[in-house]
Amino acid sequence: LRVRAARLGRLGPAGGDPPGSRGEPGDGTAVVDVLSRVDHALAAGRWDEAESLARAAGAEAARQGNSYLEARAVVTLGVVGSLRGDVTGSVALARRAAEIAPSDRWRGTVGDAYACFLQGYGALLGFRPEECLRWVAEVDRVMAVPPAPPEPPGVVSVLGVLRAAARFDLGEHRAGLAALTAARADVDTGHLLGRPMLAFAAALEHGAAAALGMRAHACTVAEWAHARLGGTGDVLVMQAWGPAAIGRDDAARERLRPVLDGSVPCAVPWMRTEAELLDGALALRTGNAAHARRAVARAVADAATTGILRPLVTAPPDIGALLADPVHPPDRAEFLRAVRALRAARDRTLPG
């Protein structure tokens, strides 16, 4: 696995198939060429360009009747969506890809690995750790089938992050946190999707350390992330937690301000939701319940749209009461009941 992980960074979600592969109609050259450009756009963080190219590749593959390459284009669109924070959409695209592709040519391919990975990623961010581990095991199975497909960039190393975070969520706190630390080191290898994956690994490990009250560990992760990512929104949110944990609320708000006003974006989109929730918790401390309700309402709206429940489930205890506040639209009642149930289950696993 380590040897294969070392080759990960050379292949993007669109790569790995020579023209005319998988026995599909047409030689696929034009489609493969467009998909290779998707990888370059992803490496440069040009999501709009990557999405446009992947759509073009999918349309050309469909025109040729090449269902395998059409599925590869669809799963690549799912990767772009996940990077933008649309987990619900990316999981739907992963499932659609598996439906489009001919089953005898899809199973055991890099596209199959990515489709499984996206569903595990969605399960973790939806706070369904058991399901996450099942999808991680499925990716392991795909990668082990001979002849093994070329590894998608970051999947082996980020699989370690998913696996460790899921273990933490299931109550293996010390072992899960140690595994997150090890997985973060594995992600730090400069693969194609480096910045988003570095931020993702750091955010999960920081959140785990914060949940256990391990301030020094959390600060170490924030410093590590700052050294590699600079002053992204993700890093500012992590840095805000430190002063907030010791009552330096003004310093915490100063860190959060550029994230909340949108002037500093996050590499991991759901860290903006984390910022709203921390801002709400700080407002509650000063008795500004109206501000806190507005912050939580924005966080709930984001989570309901993207399918990313994790920030709501792991939010500070004081936020819990506001998740039952009547300020939320009636059509979110079922969604919030699910969030509160997940929070209750998580609370039972945390040390008192």
- Each residue of 211-243: pLDDT tens digit? 999 999 999 999 999 999 999 999 999 999 999
Residues making up the chain, counted from first to last: 352
pLDDT(103) > 90: no
Q: What is the pLDDT of residue 19?
A: 44
Which region, left, alpha or beta, applies to residue 85 given φ > 0 means left and ψ of -120 to 50 means alpha? left
The span from the CA of 118 to the CA of 131, in Å, is 12
The two tokens of residue 256 are 């959060």
42: confidence class by pLDDT, cuts 50, 70, 90: confident
Residue 153 has pLDDT above 60, yes or no: no
Asked if the model's pLDDT at residue 10 lies above 50, the reply is no
Whole-angstrom distance, CA of residue 321 vs CA of residue 325: 7
pTM listed for this prediction: 0.90
